[in-house]
Structure 1
Amino acid sequence: MARSRTRNYAKKSAVIKSPIVKAQARPFCRNAPRVPPPLSPIVMGDPNRARAIIGTRTKWVNGTVLHYCFYTAGHFAVPTTQADAVREAFKKWKAIGIGLDFKEVSQLSEAEVRIGYSTADGSSASSVGRDVLDVPANEPTTVYGWDLTSHYGAGTALHEIGHVMGMEHEHQNPFAGIKWHEDAVYQSLSAPPNSWDRQTIFHNILEKLTPQQVQGSTWDPDSIMEYEFEAGLIAEPKRYETDGITPPATLSAGDKTWVQKWYPPLQPTLATLAPFQPAVATLAAGQQMDYAIKPTATRKYTVETKGASDTTLVLFEDVDGTSRYLTGDDDSGEERNAKITHRLFEGRSYIARLRLVHPGPTGETALMYS
C-alpha cells in the first residue's frame, strides 16, 4: 500500500546546489492535491491487490461516453476559437482508435466534463479520471488558461484531456530518476507566469507519484503529460540540466500505448446476458467483460458480480447507438460484490460493463442479472 502523500512539502532530500535561474517561460497546468483512498488492513497485506486498486481507481470503464460541455457565459466562458481547439484535441485522442468516446452536449448539467476558460486562473484539472464525478456540478472540471491555437496551446488541450482519461504528470513518475535543484524550482515557479505558492509547486513538480499510480516502469520525456522545463531546474539526468526538457507537445508512442491498453477498441457486437445465467470469465487485472441486456418485462432488476475479485461494474442504456450512463458500483478493496438494482424497461437495450481490478484468489469472475 502506498504511503500517504500528505507529507510536508517543504522537506528536502539531499541538498544539490542550485544554479541561479530565471522564471519559466511557459505557464503550466496545475492539479488539485489528491490523496489515495484508505484501504483496509486486509488489502494492505496484499501488495498486488493494493497496487491494482490504486492504479485502476481513476480509470473509466471502457466503452464509457464522456459528455463534455463548454461554459458559454460568466467567468469561465470559453471563446469560440479556444473551444474549437479543444474539440480538435478530443478528435486526436479518439483517432488513436480507442473504446472511450467523447460527445459534446449543450447543457452543463448533462456533462461529466465541464470545460472553462480563464486567463486569470490559468489551466487546471480539478480531478484526474473518474474522480471528476466528485466535482460539484456547479464547478468546472477542466479550466484552460491561455491560447490553445498555438503549438504549445494545442499540447495543453491534449494534456488536460489526458488527465480526464486518468493520466498523471509524467515528470512525477518515480521511475524517471529526476533529481531537482529544489531551490531553483521554487524560485522559478513562484515567479510569473505561474506565480505558484510552495505547496502548489511541491504537489505539481517535486512530489513523486507512488509506483502504484503509474503504469510500467519507464519514463517517457516525450509524453504529452510531461511539462516543458527551462534549463537549470533538473540536476539529474545530467543531459537535462543545461538543455531542460522540451517535449514535442504531441501524442507520443508511449501515450498511445497507454490509452490503448486501458481503452482498447470495442467489440463490434456483444453477447446477450441471459437472466439467472451467470457469465463466467477468467480476466487479468484491467481487463473487461461486456454484455448486452434485453429485458422481456419492465421491472426492477439486479445486476451483480460473483466471486472474490475486485471489480468496477457500470450499467448503460443504449440510446440510438450511444451508451448513456445509468448507474455503477465499485467493490474494490471491500469484502463484498458489486451490485446494481435498477428499473429496466421491456423493449429497450442495456449494456453491463465490468472492469476487473484484481482477480482475487481464483482468477474467475462471474456476472449475472435477475
Structure 2
Amino acid sequence: MTTHAAPEAGVPRYCAQPPQTRPLLRPDLSPDRAKAILLIRTKWVNGTVLHYGFLDEAGVLVGGDEQRDEVRRAFQEWKELGIGLEFHEVPDPADAEVRISFLEGDGSWSYVGRDVLLIGVREPTMRFGWDLTSRYGRATARHEIGHMLGLAHEHQNPFAGIVWDEEKVYAELGGPPNNWPRETTFHNILRKLAQDEVTGSVWDPDSIMQYGFPAGLILEPERYRDGIDAPLALSAVDKERAQQWYPAVSARPARLQPFQSQPLHLSSGEQADFELVPPETRRYELGTFGDSDVLTVLFEDVDGELRYVTGEDDSGDDRNGRLTVKLLKGRRYVARTRLYSAWGSGGTAFMYW
C-alpha cells in the first residue's frame, strides 16, 4: 500500500496483497463481455452487510484496543461516503466475512473483494503487521479496507505509464523491512493490471491504494524520478469510485411472489433487488432467464439484519445460474442480482419458484 514505515524510521513498508482468483474465461467471449466480468467480479452486490471480527493470534502486535479502534474508524470513514454497504462488528470472527488479525512481522495485507468468501472461517482475510496509530498506520487501515471493497493497487494501473528500474525495485523490496522474494515484488509492484480490470482511463497518484516510493525506482514519468509521496487519505477519485460501485440504498426491495417473472432492465454493473416472503416452507429455486451474465446473492433477514445465505455467479458461461435453497414460510429474504453483461438479443428476467 502507501509507504508504511514508522515516521522516525523512514523505511517503506508495503502491503503484500495475496494473489487474486482469476476467472477462466473462454477465448471466444466478446471483448465487452470479458471486460465486464473482469471489472465487476471482485465487487460485492450492493446492500451487502459485511461483518468483521478480530482474531486473537500470538505475536508481538496482538491487536490491542487502540489498534482495533483505528480499524473501526477506517470502516466508518468508508461508510460515511454514503455507500450502500454496511459494516457490522461481531464478537465471534467465525461469524464474519472479514476476519482481522494483528501480527508483527507478517506485513499488512487483505484479500480482494469477494475472494474473502473463499478463506476458511478460522483464517484471517486481513492482517496488520505494524502500528496503526501513526499517520502511516491509519492510511494502512484505509488501504486494506479498500482492497476488501474490491479495489486494486493504483500504481499497477496500466494508464499510469510508470517505467520502473526493475532491478532496483527488486533490490529495494528484497531488503529490510519488507524482505520480499522477487515474485511478491512483481505481483504487488511491477505487474500491470489489464485495462479491463480498472475503472476509468486515468491514473490517480493521490489514491489511498497508491504506494509511496523513494527516489531512484521510477524512470518515467520524469517528475516521479525523485519518488512519490505516500497518500495518507482517501482521494476524491477513491470516493467517487466507491460511490459508483456502491451507491446509497434507499428504496425497499420490490416484493416478488413465487412464479412471478420480473424483467431486468439493467446496464452493466447495475443490480436489481427483490424481497421474498415464502407462502410455504419448502425448497425453492431462484435465478434469471435470458442471455446474461449475473451474480445473484440471497440474504435472510435475521433480527432486522440481512445475513448471507448463498450465491451463484454464472459469468462467462452460456447458462443461467440457479440457487436451490430451503426457504421458511413467512421469513423475509432479499435476493440481489448484479448484471455483468447482457450478451444476447433477448430480454432478461428474475423469478423464484
With structure 2 as the length reference, what TM-score do the two structures score?
0.94
Query: Of the candidates 63, 66, 72, which is equivalent to residue 81 of structure 1?
Result: 66
Query: What is the CA–CA distance in structure 2 between the aligned matches of 1:275 and 1:246, rounded to whole Å?
Result: 56
Query: What is the CA–CA distance in structure 2 between the aligned matches of 1:312 and 1:156, rounded to whole Å?
Result: 30
Answer yes or no: is the 8 Å Cα contact 1:284–1:363 preserved in 2.
Answer: no
Residue type at the aligned position of 1:113: V
Aligned to 1:144: 128
Residue type at the aligned position of 1:334: D
Structure 1 residue 35 displacement after superposition: 5.3
Query: What is the CA–CA distance in structure 1 between the aligned matches of 2:81 and 2:35, rounded to whole Å?
Result: 27
Answer yes or no: is the 8 Å Cα contact 2:290–2:344 preserved in 1.
Answer: no
Answer yes or no: is the 8 Å Cα contact 2:57–2:101 preserved in 1.
Answer: no
Answer yes or no: is the 8 Å Cα contact 1:70–1:77 preserved in 2.
Answer: no
CA RMSD, 1 decimal? 1.5
Q: Which segments of 5 or more consecutive residues in structure 1 lack a partner in the other structure?
A: 1-22
- Percent identical: 53
Structure 1 residue 261 displacement after superposition: 1.0
Aligned to 1:161: 145
Residue type at the aligned position of 1:304: G
1:271 aligns with 2:254: yes
Query: What is the CA–CA distance in structure 2 between the aligned matches of 1:233 and 1:213, rounded to whole Å?
Result: 25
Query: What is the CA–CA distance in structure 2 between the aligned matches of 1:124 and 1:223, rounded to whole Å?
Result: 17
Deviates more, 1:23-32 or 1:260-269: 23-32
Answer yes or no: is the 8 Å Cα contact 1:223–1:247 preserved in 2.
Answer: no
1:297 aligns with 2:280: yes
Q: Which consecutive aligned stretches of 4+ in structure 1 deviate over 6 angstroms post-superposition?
A: none
Deviates more, 1:162-171 or 1:191-200: 191-200
Structure 1 residue 365 displacement after superposition: 2.1
- Over residues 6-44 of structure 1, what are the superposed CA-to-partner deviations in whole Å (9 max), with x where a residue is unaligned? xxxxxxxxxxxxxxxxx972210101233522112332x
Query: What is the CA–CA distance in structure 1 between the aligned matches of 2:308 and 2:346, rounded to whole Å?
Result: 28
SS in 1 for 2:225: helix
Residue type at the aligned position of 2:91: S
Aligned to 1:118: 103
Query: What is the CA–CA distance in structure 2 between the aligned matches of 1:57 and 1:343, rounded to whole Å?
Result: 27
Answer yes or no: is the 8 Å Cα contact 2:16–2:188 preserved in 1.
Answer: yes
Structure 1 residue 224 displacement after superposition: 0.5
Structure 1 residue 239 displacement after superposition: 0.7
1:256 aligns with 2:276: no
- Over residues 59-106 of structure 1, what are the superposed CA-to-partner deviations in whole Å (9 max), with x where a residue is unaligned? 111111111110134348422211110000000000000111111111
Query: Of the candidates 48, 52, 63, which is equivalent to residue 36 of structure 2?
Result: 52
Query: What is the CA–CA distance in structure 2 between the aligned matches of 1:100 and 1:298, rounded to whole Å?
Result: 30
Answer yes or no: is the 8 Å Cα contact 2:51–2:95 preserved in 1.
Answer: yes
- Aligned residue runs from structure 1 range 1-370, under 5 A: 25-34=11-20, 36-43=22-29, 46-75=30-59, 77-125=62-110, 127-242=111-226, 244-362=227-345, 364-370=347-353
Query: What is the CA–CA distance in structure 1 between the aligned matches of 2:351 and 2:19, rounded to whole Å?
Result: 38
With structure 1 as the length reference, what TM-score do the two structures score?
0.90
Answer yes or no: is the 8 Å Cα contact 1:69–1:108 preserved in 2.
Answer: yes
